[in-house]
Structure 1
Amino acid sequence: MPPPEPTETADPAASAAPEPAVRSEQGSHRAVGGSPNRTAWLMVLPWAAVTTAVLAPFVVSRHPDQSTASSIGAVAGPAVLVAVVCALVAWRSTSAWSWWLYPPIVVIPAVALVVLTNEVPDRLENVPQDVGDQGNRSLVAPEQAGPWTLQTGAGPQAQEAELRERLLRADETLEPVYGQYRRAADDILVYNGINVPASTDLARELVGTPEDALRDYLDGTGIVDVVDLPPGDLSGAMACGTIPRLGPYVDLVVCGWADSGGIGTATYRVDGINLESAAETTRDFRADVTVTD
Structure 2
Amino acid sequence: MKNLLTITMIGGTALASIMSSPALAIATETPSAQGPNGATLSAMQSQCNSLALAHGPAWSGELDLGSINGSLISGPTQVGGRTIVGEIEGYGDLIPSDPYIAGDPYRTGGSVNMFGDQRASAAWYPHSRYDYTANFTSMFSYAFSCNMSERVRYPATGHHEWRGPSQADPQAAACRQWDLNGIHQGVTLGPCEWVEDDPAHDEDEPRNPEAGVPISETQTDNLMGHEEDGGRFEISGDLFIGKVVVCISPSTSTRRGVPGEWRQQNGYTGNKCTTTWFNVAPWGGGSQTSNGTYISVPPAT
TM-score over 0.5 for the pair: no
TM-score of the pair, normalised by structure 1: 0.20
More helix by share: 1
TM-score of the pair, normalised by structure 2: 0.20
More strand by share: 2
Higher relative contact order (CA 8 A, sep 6+): 2
